[in-house]
Amino acid sequence: MKEKIIKNAAELFITLGFKSVTMDDIANHMGISKKTIYSHFSNKTELVKEATLCVFHEITCGIRCIRELNKNPIEELYEIKKFAMLHLKNEKVSPQYQLQKYYPEIFNTLKEKQYENMHECTLQNLERGVALGLYRDNLDIEFVSRIYFIGVRGIKDDTLFPTQRFPKAELMEDYLEYHLRGIVTPEGLKTLNKFIKQQSNE
């Protein structure tokens, strides 16, 4: 039951927001009593922590599976972006902003975990891209990987990029293209243009 509560709560938090969803909402959604939830979690903060870690682990596992396919590094980034956006339901309510505002400790813990995971993933992607001649060989990959992380985090800031003006799916699409255009070789650009064309046709 505990796992079911975590999964249902995570879905509601991502869809409706961490602040908006109450323990009553979760109980009603699941058709159980609030008492049942409190038998597993002492308070909402504890449930929020478990739910965010659950989503993080699911996304991490999904990204690992994509990486194990050893796709072209540019295709790999597009596949990861597609998977993450699908999993986060395009973040229509900016859950990251609510998490940062109302649960700062959980937010900071999650941010550290995301950085560790994304840093390793991006470094390997950059190294493979350089080795295959798709990314420029004069890149400082440590610098590029950190800048990429900052950008991915930054575009989720609803005060800088309000959803009404910058829909999350389009924003991530634009940022990924921006990132790749700065690092690709002429050969890599051919591959990138192919994916840009595919995206516009979907």
- Domain residue limits, the chain: 58-201
Class of the domain covering 58-201: mainly alpha
- The pLDDT value recorded for residue 20 is 87
pLDDT exceeds cutoff 80 at 88 = no
Confidence of residue 7 (pLDDT cuts 50, 70, 90): very high
Degrees (nearest 5) of the Cα angle 58, 59, 61? 65
Confidence of residue 92 (pLDDT cuts 50, 70, 90): low
What's the rounded mean pLDDT across residues 6-28? 92
Report how far residue 133's alpha carbon sits from residue 188's, in angstroms, rounded to the nearest whole number.
7
What's the rounded mean pLDDT across residues 123-135? 97
pLDDT digits (tens, 9 = 90+) for 163-197: 889 888 889 999 999 999 999 999 999 999 988 88
Reported pTM: 0.84
Report how far residue 18's alpha carbon sits from residue 48's, in angstroms, rounded to the nearest whole number.
7
- The pLDDT value recorded for residue 41 is 96
pLDDT digits (tens, 9 = 90+) for 135-165: 999 999 999 999 999 999 898 888 888 888 9
Report how far residue 192's alpha carbon sits from residue 44's, in angstroms, rounded to the nearest whole number.
44
Report how far residue 180's alpha carbon sits from residue 122's, in angstroms, rounded to the nearest whole number.
12
